[in-house]
Amino acid sequence: NWDEEDQDEETKEEKPLRRDKDLEFLFQEVVRDNSKDEYLQRDLHSKKSDSKYKEMLVSELVELINSNRVLVVSGETGCGKTTQVTQFILDDHINRGVGSMCRVVCTQPRRISAISVAERVAAERAESVGNGNSCGYQIRLQSRLPRRQGSILYCTTGIILQWLRSDPLLSSISHLVLDEIHERNLQSDVLLIIVKNLLKVRNDLKIILMSATLNAEKFSKYFDNCPMIHIPGLTFPVEEYLLEDIVEMTRYCPQSQDRRSSWKKSFWQGRNSRPEKEEKEREYQESWPCYARTLQGRYSDSTIQALEMLDGDEKIDLELILALIRHIVLNEGEGAILVFLPGWDNISTLNDLLTAQQMFRSDNFVIIPLHSLMPTVNQTQVFKRPPPGVRKIVIATNIAETSITIDDVVYVIDGGKIKETNFDTNNNISTMTAEWVSLANAKQRKGRAGRFVRVTVMSEMRSALKTCLWVRFLLFGIQASCHRFPSSHASPFCRLQTRKELKNALDHTENLTALGFHLARLPVEPHIGKLILFGALLGCLDPVLTIAASLSFKDPFFIPLGKEKMADMRRRVLSRNSKSDHLTIVNAVTGWEEAKRRGARSEKDYCWDNFLSANTLQMLHNMKGQFAEHLMHTGFVSSSDPKDPTSNINSDNEKLIKAVIVAGLYPKVAMIRPSFSKKRPGVKVYTQADGKVCIHPKSVNAEENDFNYTWLIYHLKMRTSSIFLYDCTEVSPFSLLFFGGDITIQKDEGQETIAVDQWIVFRSPARIAHLVKSLKKELDSLLEEKISNPAPVDWNNRQSKDCAVITAIIDLITTQEKPTGGSKDYGRPWASSSREKHIYFKDEDDDDDD
C-alpha cells in the first residue's frame, strides 16, 4: 500500500489557488532570512533555559554531517538516533546563524512512528507538535506541519515518494534523514535508488541514513563507502537468556516424546518443497543434536534431553512460553511482560492457554493481544500503566519492535519468528511464512526491555507492478525498464506476467501510455487504479471507491478473541448473498454512513454489532474523498464528492459493479468446479497458474456451495500453509468478455467459441459471439479516448456514441440470464442456449474420490 497522496499536474509557477495539502510543506519557498535567523537563535536560547528542554551538545556527529554529503548513523534501539540526530542538525544551523535555511525531513516506516516520534521531539523542545513550531509530522490524509523555515518534519516513506513526483529534486529540503533503513521493503529500496541519483544533481543536499548496527556497512558500501558513525549504549542494562537457560530454569519438558521422529518423517515425506530449502533444513536438523551435546556439564541431563526433543520444530512451543510466563510471575519482580509471536494464530492460542488457567483469569493480570485484527479500543490499553499489583502481559507481532514503545516493559520473551511477505519470482505469487528473525530484528526486540528474558533466536517482493510504473515516472535521467523489476533473477514467466498485467500501461518501448500515466499518479497499485478509473467512467463511483480504499488500506472488520464465529456470521449477513467480499465491504460502509447520520450512539452500536472498526471506516471515508478529488483534478468526474449523483447513476447495479471489479483486477481469475467428493462436498477452486487453490476462511465465499456462475475474481493470492484467495467475487461470463483480456472467436468441434486470452473459453452462438466482439472493440476504442482526454460521461445524452456503447454493454451485463440449473448446472454458465467449454486443471494434491 503506497502511503502517498495525489497532486496537481501544474508546475509550481502554474499551480492553482488550491494545492493538495500533502504538498504544502514541499512547496513552501525557502530563502535566507536574517531576521528569521536572529529570531530562531533567541528562541533556541530561551528553550535551553527551560527545564523541559533536553540539552544536546554539538559533537562529532554534526561535524561529519556538515563535511559529508552522505553519512550512515548506526546504533541500538534506545540510543536516541531518531529523536536526537534531527535536533542536532537543526540546532547547529540555528547556532551558526543559518537556521532559516535548515529544513530536516525524516522518514519513518510506519504512520504511528511518524506521529509518536514527532510528539516526543516536540515535547523535548518544550513545544507542541506542529502549529508553526519547530517539529511536526505528515502522513497520508493527516498532518501537523511545523514552521516553514528552521524545522523538522517526520513523515512516512510514501510521502517522500509522492513529493518526488511534483519536485524530483526535493528543492526545498536541506537534509533528508532515512530512518530504520534496515527494515527493507519495496518503498525504501526504490527511495534509496532515487536518492543515490538525486545526489548527482543536488550538491547541497545532505543524506543521513540511520540503521541498526548489523546492517550499517552494507548501506555505507552502497553509497560509495560513505563515512559511518556509531551511537553507543542502550537506555537500560539488559540481561539475556537463551533457550537452554529457559528450559533449565523452568524445568520444562515437551509433552510428546516422539516429536523428533515426527518432524523427521514429515520432513522426508514433504511434497512441493524447494531442494535448497530442504538441504538447509536438513543441515540445521542434523547439527542441532551436536550443539545440544556441547552443553553437557553446564546444564542438566533433563535440559539437554528437552532441547533435543525441541530440535527442528517448525512451530513455536507455546507451552514453553506459558511456562516461562508463570516462572516470571512467580519468581521475578514486577513489570510488564512483552511476548513476540509471528501471527494471529499464535497470539490467539497463547491467549487461550493463559486464560484457561485460573491464575491469569484474576484481576491481578491484564492480557493484551496486539495485532491488526484486534479492536483498536482494546489495543489502547497497551500504553497504560496498570495499578500496583497488576501485571500487564502484551502478546504482539513485530509491530512492537520499532513502531511503538511500551515504557513499562521489563521482560521480553522472543518467540524467534516473524511472518514475512515475500514474492516468489519463479511462481509469480506472494508468500507469507513464519521465518526465523534476523539478528537485527532480535536486537530491536531486545531493546524493548529493561530486563530481558528471551527464548532462543536463530540467526539467519511483493509484486513489482507499481514499481515498474513509478520508476518510469520518478527516475529522471535514468534508463530503467520494467524488465528489471522484479530482480534480474526473476523467471521469464514472472517477467511475462508483469508485462501482461501492465498491459496498456506501457507501450512497446516500455514508456508510459496515457493509462500508465494516470495509474502512476494514483496513490494505489495499478490494479486498484484501473478499478477507480472504470468506476468513474461507468457511473458507479461511490461503491467502487469504497472497494478501492479497502484494497489499498485494509478492510474494516476486526476479530475479537473468542468471538471468531460470531464475527464470521455478521460478515456473511452483510454480504447479502452477493457472493462477494468486495460488495460485503460496500454494504458495511454504506450501513456505517447511515448509522453515522443518525448520531454518535447509533454509529457506535452499528460498529459494535457488526465487528467493525470505526477508525478504519473513517480512514476509508477519507481515502474515498482523496481518490475523488484526484479524479476531479484530472477531469474524469465533475465533483470531488464520491456521492455526486452524476457519478453514481449506476451505483445500484450490483452486476455492473462486479464487472468493474473485473476491469480492475483481471487477470486475477479463478474457476469454480463442483466437488463430488463425499469427504469434501461443495466446490473446488482453480487458477490457471497454480491449479487447485483454497478460499481463505475469512472470505464470505469460504463455505459457499451455491454459486450462480463458475468464475471468481480476486485481489490477494498468497501462499501460507496452502495457496489462499483472501478475497473474491463471483462474476459472470459477460463481465469477463467485456472487461477481461483480448477475445477471439474460433470453432471447436464445429461450434463457435469465444475466448478471453485463449484460456477462458465459452461456447456460444455465432451471432452472440460476433456481437460481443464488436461491442468489445467499440468499448476499447471509447476507453482509450476517455483515458487520453478525460471527461465525464454525459449520461443525459443517450444519443451520444460513448453513452450508447456503455449503455448497451451495461444492459447485456445486467440482463444476463441466470443459469436455469442453479449451482449444479456448471455446463450452462451464462445463457440457456450456450455452454461453457470444460477446462480441467492439474490436481496434484487431490485425493478425493471424484
Question: If you average pLDDT over residues 28-42, what whole number do you get?
Answer: 76
Q: Enter the C-alpha cell of residue 821.
A: 440449473
Give the tens place of pLDDT for each residue, 799-836: 787 788 888 888 888 886 554 333 333 333 333 223 33
Predicted local distance difference test score (pLDDT) of residue 424: 58
For 667-692, what is the mean pLDDT? 84
pLDDT number for residue 806 = 87
The pLDDT assigned to 676 comes to: 74
Decide if pLDDT at 849 tops 50: no
362's grid cell: 484474576
Percent of the chain with pLDDT over 70: 70
Rounded Cα gap, residues 241 and 324, in angstroms: 11
Q: Domain 243-254+317-446 classified CATH 3.30.499.10?
A: no
| Amino acid identity for residue 785 in this structure | E
How much is the average pLDDT of 742-750? Answer: 79
Residue 621 CA: distances (Å) to CA of 555, 556, 574, 641? 12, 11, 18, 11
For 585-601, how does the pLDDT look when each residue is reduced to its tens digit (9 = 90+)? 999 999 999 999 999 99
Cα 235 from Cα 834, distance rounded (Å): 72
**DSSP state letter for 387:** P
Helix (H) / strand (E) containing 714: strand 711-714
Q: In this predicted structure, what is the pLDDT of residue 12?
A: 34
Q: How large is the angle between the packed helices 465-474 and 186-198, nearest 10 degrees? A: 20
Q: Tens digit of pLDDT for each residue in 397-420?
A: 765 445 456 677 888 888 776 666
What pLDDT is attached to residue 643? 95
Reported as type and span, the H/E element at residue 656 is helix 654-665
Tally of residues, the chain: 850
Question: Which pLDDT score is estimated for 533?
Answer: 92
Which grid coordinates are listed for 577?
Answer: 448473498
- Of the pLDDT bands very low, low, confident and very high (cuts 50, 70, 90), residue 435 is low
pLDDT, tens digit (0-9, with 9 covering 90-100), for 64-108: 999 999 999 987 666 678 888 999 999 999 999 999 999 999 998
- DSSP letter at 780 equals H
Q: What is the pTM of this model?
A: 0.68
Average pLDDT, stretch 144-170?
Answer: 89
Confidence grade of residue 50 (pLDDT, cut at 50, 70, 90): low
Residue 194 CA: distances (Å) to CA of 26, 27, 198 = 17, 20, 6
Tell me the average pLDDT across 498-511: 64
Amino acid at 376: T
pLDDT over 90 percentage in the chain:
27
Q: Write b or e for each residue in 637-657: b if 16 or more Cβ atoms lie within 10 A of its Cβ, otherwise e.
A: bebebbebebbbebbebbbbb
Rounded distance between C-alpha atoms, residue 743 and residue 740, angstroms: 8
pLDDT in tens, 219-275: 999 999 999 988 765 555 667 888 888 888 888 888 754 444 443 333 333 434 445
What integer pLDDT is reported at residue 544 of this predicted model? 97
Q: Give 271-320 pLDDT, tens digit per residue.
A: 344 455 555 445 444 555 566 667 777 888 888 888 777 755 557 788 88
Query: What class is the 21-231 domain?
Result: alpha beta
- Which stretches of 599-653 are DSSP H helices? 600-610, 614-634
CB 665, CB 713: distance < 8 Å: yes
Task: Report residue 375's pLDDT band, with 50, 70 and 90 as the boundaries.
Answer: low
The pLDDT score that the predictor gives to residue 82 is 86
For residue 715, what pLDDT band results from cuts at 50, 70 and 90? very high
Label residue 762 by pLDDT band (50, 70, 90). Answer: confident
What pLDDT score does 19 carry?
A: 43
The pLDDT, as a whole number, for residue 843 is: 40
In this predicted structure, the answer to whether residue 451 has a pLDDT above a threshold of 60 is: no
DSSP 187-221: HHHHHHHHHHHHTTT-TT-EEEEEE-GGGHHHHHH
Q: Once rounded to an integer, what is the mean pLDDT over residues 666-672?
A: 92
Pull the grid cell for residue 650. Answer: 449506476
pLDDT at 750 over 90: no
Outline where 369-464 has alpha helix (H). Answer: 376-379, 399-402, 439-446
Report, as an integer, the average pLDDT of 425-449: 57
The ranges of the chain annotated as CATH 3.40.50.300 are: 21-231, 243-254+317-446
677: phi then psi, degrees, rounded to nearest 5: -75, 140
Average pLDDT over the chain, rounded to whole? Answer: 76
